[in-house]
Amino acid sequence: MKCVDLQEQFGPKFKVEYEESYNAERTKNTLEDPGLMILRCQNGHICPWGDSALAACTNTNGSVATRLRKLPFVTVVQDGDDGVNAVFDVEHFNEIAKIMKPRLPMKTCQPNGCGVKRARPAGKCSPCSSSSPRQKNPHSG
């Protein structure tokens, strides 16, 4: 079965990774399987659900799950105490992303070549202050 390829459609903008079972069962001969890719999100994850559909899977049954249930283009296929699995057409990804909040890919800070990796939108890195040990690095917490 063909499914939405998260890496192809969303890889440049969001962090795409394989679900845990892929790495547990993987061998050197295992082919890359788009069906096992996920977008980790602040509020759960998004995964493929067929050729033109995705599923938003929440980690809790709180306000995020309630917001998903209320969307007219969503079909809840699993509703439990620990969250919901809500299926939607890929054309509604942007609306779902505002709720689920997919993680950004790790980028290397390049303004002065400090090499620090952190999640950030492209072009949002402030220059590092690595020349003076007393100055706080803007990438540290």
Domain around 49: 6-100
Instruction: Give the model confidence (pLDDT) of 61-115 as tens digits.
Output: 999 999 999 999 999 999 999 999 999 999 999 999 999 999 988 765 555 556 5
Structure confidence at residue 130 (pLDDT): 41
| Mean pLDDT calculated for residue range 15-24 | 76
Is the same domain home to 17 and 56? yes
Residues 71 and 124 in one domain: no
Where does residue 96 rank: exposed (0-12), middle (13-18), buried (19+ CB within 10 A)?
buried
Quick one: 19 and 88 in the same domain?
yes
Give the pLDDT band of residue 135 (cuts 50, 70, 90).
Answer: very low
Taking the model in full, what pTM does it have? 0.71
Place of tokens 């299926």: 87
pLDDT band at residue 34, thresholds of 50, 70 and 90? Answer: confident
Judge contact between 86 and 46, C-beta under 8 A.
no
Residues 64, 116 within the same domain: no
For residues 94 and 128, state if they share a domain. no
Q: Looking at the structure, do residues 18 and 87 belong to the same domain, yes or no?
A: yes
pLDDT of residue 133 exceeding 70, the answer is: no
pLDDT digits (tens, 9 = 90+) for 48-62: 998 899 999 999 999
User: How many domains does the chain fold into?
Assistant: 2
Residues 6 or more apart in contact with residue 111 via CB below 8 angstroms: 125, 126, 127, 128
Q: Name the strand (E) or helix (H) holding 67.
A: helix 63-70
Categorize the per-residue pLDDT at 129 as very low, low, confident or very high, splitting at 50, 70 and 90: very low
* One domain, residues 43 and 95: yes
d(CA 57, CA 67): 12
Residue 1 in domain: no
